[in-house]
Structure 1
Amino acid sequence: MQQSTIIIFCFLISIVICYQIYFEKVVAKRIPIKRKQKILELLKSKYTGLKENNLGYLEHTINNEKILFEFISNRSVNNSFSNNLYIYLDITTIEEDIKKLCKIHFYCSTIDNRDWIKIRVNPFYESLNNLVKHSDETVHKLISDAEFYISQKRAERNKRINT
């Protein structure tokens, strides 16, 4: 009786381990790919003219400002997934001294030999629909904050030069 209980217990443990391996190898790899496809569809419906570039970023132009979207789906320790949407603003064409100040003030990245200001979309709940819904206000916040900061630093620089 005891030996059959041990065999059943070992069998159940092996099934759980096999399911865990299957989840790791098959299911967990599909989830981020499906989520990226879904957010691409949602963003394309919100921003007309959005296209994916060769690096996997989504490109868009708003008010002559070049914008990139990056979606990252991370898996935590407890096997849940988190969705992150990052928005980048191109600052390659501004003056070098102002660009250096922007790199200190904002989170910046270099992508494809271009300089970008980076901000994360922070909705209350990180569903794909919420990320897309709040992306518009984040884009406008990023553009307005960057334009304000750049114009402020240009005015300070011009004031120093003229004095």
Structure 2
Amino acid sequence: MPFKKPHHTSDPSCIKPDDNGGYIIEPRGLNIVWGNDDRYWKVTNQGPAELIQVSWLEVTGLVNVQKNKTYSVTFDVKVKEDGYGWKGTDVLVMAKLGKNGKYLYETANLTPGEKLTVPPRPGGLEIKVDSNTTETQLHFGLYEVWSGKWKGGLEIIKARVIAMP
């Protein structure tokens, strides 16, 4: 039996550019830690990626951006009614320019039975790309790696990197 990697690796065909210089990223377009192990995730060809159970939530992506623009990063998610491990636990949406850039982040709380966009504040997590930067790759992700709690019942519907007007 050939070795199967435990993590789901982004399928670039699932990263769709929009008309305004941003992107809509389907679940298969994201990197999902433990995403190839059906004990932890259910990642199908269509529809949301469903978290079965993990203690380390790390869902990341990478897109190219343009200089002298501002981008908004969000994740559309749903916590199923029987979702667990989310009470009192913050999730973070984080983003940085370049592999060695400094992360910016926003926190959010998730509640079972809710479908929401995180971070919930209008505009999401905003990243400004200066005209003098040498970095044009935006690294972003949804994380909860600090509590050590087991959690489940989360659906990742899509991620969005929107070019702001």
Q: TM-score, normalised by structure 1?
A: 0.31
Q: Which structure has more strand as a fraction of its residues?
A: 2
Q: TM-score, normalised by structure 2?
A: 0.30
Larger radius of gyration: 1
Of structures 1 and 2, the one scoring higher in RCO (CA 8 A, sep 6+) is 2
Q: Which structure has more helix as a fraction of its residues?
A: 1
